[in-house]
Amino acid sequence: MLEALLWGAVAASSLIVGAVAGVLRDWNARLVGLVLGFGAGALVASISFELAETGFRLGGAVAVAVGLAAGAIVFYIADRAIDRKEASNASGLSLLLGALLDGIPEQAVLGIGIADGHGVSLALLVAIFVSNLPEAIGSATDMRSARRSTGWILLTWTAIAILCAAATIVGYQLQEIAGAQWRGGINGFAAGALLVMLVGSMIPEATQKAGEKAGLAAVLGFAVAAGLSFAA
């Protein structure tokens, strides 16, 4: 469990790094888009080679299919609620909530993999770390523009990072007590939630900010994460 907490903290630390970067200076939108593209490609590789493949092996097609549907629906409903909040709130709070919503299933899967005896997934770790950065940078920048204090911004993002790191422990415990089908379903749930997030927000935002170069960054991210996955 200590190992799961350690790696969960490493992955979540990029939220704090991004928040610090956001309050210190303004960032070029194209650079943020390229980082988003890289993170999206890395997450696609992690979903394919870490979540779906492992889920099918553990629980079979039915468990993964049920998990995929559940994860997609839960994320979609929660994301719609965030979108409605965003329409009346331009202070960056919606991005903060989105980071929490994305981070919980991502980091739970880290704990699941560690409890399964395969150690930390470097591919998923890199994908989470990179994809967290632009969300935190963008939200912290918006909060600063809304005249939130630096201390409040950093404290809030630290709390989000702690909650995301705690999700790693939850994943670890679930994997310890759940049977093979439940474990496959958990992997499917995380994959479904992440796929909806990727198609609905992360990839469109990357393309909006970086144009067609976002696709090149995504391929690079996919290649790096896939290489790390196979190397492990």
Alpha carbon distance 55, 50 (integer Å) = 8
DSSP 40: H
Q: Which token pair is 94?
A: 């919606």
Higher pLDDT pick, 109 / 61: 61
The rounded distance, in Å, linking the Cα atoms of 141 and 153 is 10
pLDDT confidence of residue 215: 95
* Long-range pairs, 195-201, Cβ under 8 A, ≥24: 195/47, 195/68, 195/72, 196/71, 196/72, 196/75, 196/76, 196/79, 197/75, 197/79, 197/101, 197/102, 198/40, 198/43, 198/44, 200/76, 200/79, 201/79, 201/98
Q: What's the pLDDT score for residue 85? A: 62
For every residue of 24-83, DSSP letters joined together read H----HHHHHHHHHHHHHHHHHHIIIIIIHHHHHHHHHHHHHHHHHHHHHHHHHHHHHHH
Give the pLDDT score at 10.
93
Average pLDDT of the chain is 83
Q: How confident is the model at residue 194 (pLDDT cuts 50, 70, 90)?
A: confident
Q: Specify the higher pLDDT residue, 49 or 97.
A: 49
The reply to whether the predicted model has a pTM over 0.95 is no
Q: Note the pLDDT of residue 59.
A: 87
Pick the residue with more confidence: 145 or 220?
220
Q: What percent of the chain has pLDDT over 90?
A: 22
Residues 85, 94: Cα–Cα separation, whole Å: 7
The pLDDT tens digits for 10-37 are: 999 999 999 999 888 878 889 888 988 8
pLDDT given at position 187: 81
> Could you read off the pLDDT of 79-134 as tens digits, one per residue?
787 666 655 454 556 667 667 776 787 788 788 778 776 677 787 788 788 878 87
Which pLDDT does position 232 carry in this prediction? 60
What residues contact residue 142 under an 8 Å CB cut-off, 6+ apart?
90, 91, 92, 95
Domain residue extents for the chain: 2-231
